[in-house]
Amino acid sequence: MGKRIREEKQALSVNQSEVNSAEQRLVEAAQNGDKKAFGRLIRRHQKMLFRFVYGLLGSFDATEDIVQEAFVKAYGALGSFRTDSAFYPWLSTIARNSAYNHISREERKESLDRLQEKGYDPQATELGPLERLLDDEAQVRFMKAVKALPARYRSVFVLRHFEQMDYGRIADYLKIPPGTVDSRLYRARRMLVESLKDLL
């Protein structure tokens, strides 16, 4: 049993190494002016990047703009990218910076009650474009609830739970004290629990 697990882990490691090597070749080709190679990089990562940015912004139109902007910026900055690094974390950092600039311009003081007064209904049947890709009702409800969080809470929640950033990195990125990260994350979770309590 132990031998089989070791063999499976070794196979996964080899496979990941092959994937990384293939991606490194694409990046190097793109750096040398091969636009088709960059197009393949886009296709590899656009769905994951879209979901991440949508989780931050909660707006399909804004997400489209930010994702497109991130790819344009990434293409322009390819010359400075180190090919021994992973491409997606670098790309998502570019997108995250653009998304947070957008978030900083949003109204940050809306409560969940006010959002509901404006028409947010966690049980509404009408779904957004990303939500239609989720075939599980709980996932759809969860994404709608995340989207409804005020920006200050949504950004902390998404950075923590979608990007797995630790409290220190979130604090550095958002330029807020770690204690504020903790309190906003706590508040975001409470609001989500309240919104999804019939599913819990």
What average pLDDT does the segment 35-61 reach? 86
* Element of type H or E holding 45: helix 35-57
pLDDT at 169 over 80: yes
- Residue scoring higher pLDDT (144 or 94): 94
Contacts of 31 (CB under 8 A, 6+ apart): 78, 79, 81, 83
Give the model confidence (pLDDT) of 64-81 as tens digits: 999 999 999 999 998 888
Q: What is the pTM of this model?
A: 0.56
Nearest CA among 194, 190, 199, 162 for reference residue 57: 162
Give the residue-averaged pLDDT of 6-26: 60
User: What pLDDT is stored for residue 138 in this prediction?
Assistant: 67
Give per-residue pLDDT as tens, 81-91: 887 788 888 99
Q: What was the pLDDT predicted at 21?
A: 77
The domain made up of 1-106 is a member of CATH 1.10.1740.10: yes
> What pLDDT score does 79 carry?
87
Q: Can you give the pLDDT at residue 130?
A: 43
Residue 61 has pLDDT above 50, yes or no: yes
Residue pair 79/31 in contact by the 8 Å Cβ criterion:
yes
| Domain regions of the chain by residue span | 1-106, 109-200
pLDDT band at 182 (very low <50, low <70, confident <90, very high): very high
The rounded distance, in Å, linking the Cα atoms of 91 and 89 is: 5
Question: Rounded to 5 degrees, what angle do the CA atoms 83, 84, 86 make?
Answer: 85
* pLDDT band per the 50, 70, 90 thresholds, residue 172: confident
pLDDT of residue 74: 92
Encoding tokens for residue 41?
Answer: 């990089």
pLDDT of residue 166: 87
pLDDT, tens digit (0-9, with 9 covering 90-100), for 119-163: 445 445 454 544 444 446 667 777 778 888 888 888 888 888 877
Q: How far is CA 176 from CA 168, 172, 180, 183, 199, in A?
A: 10, 7, 6, 11, 33
The lowest-confidence range among 90-99, 134-143, 166-175 is 134-143
The CATH classification number of 109-200 equals: 1.10.10.10
